[in-house]
């Protein structure tokens, strides 16, 4: 099954991981353990929060657009509240390091650095309400 994740074409193998659906989230059982995931559909796109990152999954090749994860820009996949901010502007971060946590639909979604870099922008603070699509953080890749 082919899908586009953050603009990159990937092939999903249903034999690698099993997904159990719960009323408010999914549990993904794979070779490296079981992890909770949250998926929210918006039109033909699905935002999936999994293992500290939010991925945009589409069934058709996305058009080129600014603000993709490759740019280091992290956007709210849905309206919610910032419940934790773990970095500050100017911080050096490593790939996978949590930067902030968004709570939406009673589920916390951590946002992690997509690559090693510097937090260039962090326009939110704990307690802020954010709209869908709001820029939460921007990480600039190390040269």
Residue extents of the structural domains in the chain: 2-58, 69-141
What would the CATH number be for the domain defined by 69-141? Answer: 2.40.50.100
pLDDT (tens digit, 9 = 90+) per residue, 102-137?
Answer: 998 778 888 999 899 999 999 999 999 999 889 999
- Tell whether pTM > 0.85: no
pLDDT (tens digit, 9 = 90+) per residue, 33-89?
Answer: 898 888 888 777 888 888 877 887 877 765 544 344 467 899 888 899 999 999 999
What is the spatial distance between Cα 58 and Cα 50, in angstroms, rounded to a whole number?
16
Strands (E) located in the chain: 2-5, 8-11, 18-21, 26-30, 33-42, 45-50, 53-58, 73-75, 80-85, 92-93, 98-104, 107-112, 117-121, 129-130, 135-141
């Amino acid at each position: 099954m082919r899908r586009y994740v953050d603009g990159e074409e990937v092939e999903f193998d249903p034999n690698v991981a099993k997904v159990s659906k719960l009323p408010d989230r999914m549990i993904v059982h794979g070779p490296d353990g079981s992890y909770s995931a949250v998926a929210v559909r918006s039109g033909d796109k699905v935002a999936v929060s999994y293992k500290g990152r939010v991925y945009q999954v589409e069934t058709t090749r996305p058009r080129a657009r600014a603000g993709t994860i490759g740019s280091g820009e992290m956007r709210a996949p849905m309206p919610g509240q910032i419940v934790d901010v773990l970095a500050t502007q100017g911080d050096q971060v490593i790939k996978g390091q949590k930067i902030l946590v968004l709570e939406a639909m009673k589920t916390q979604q951590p946002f992690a650095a997509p690559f090693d870099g510097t937090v260039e922008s962090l326009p939110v603070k704990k307690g802020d309400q954010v709209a869908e699509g709001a820029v939460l953080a921007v990480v600039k890749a190390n040269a």
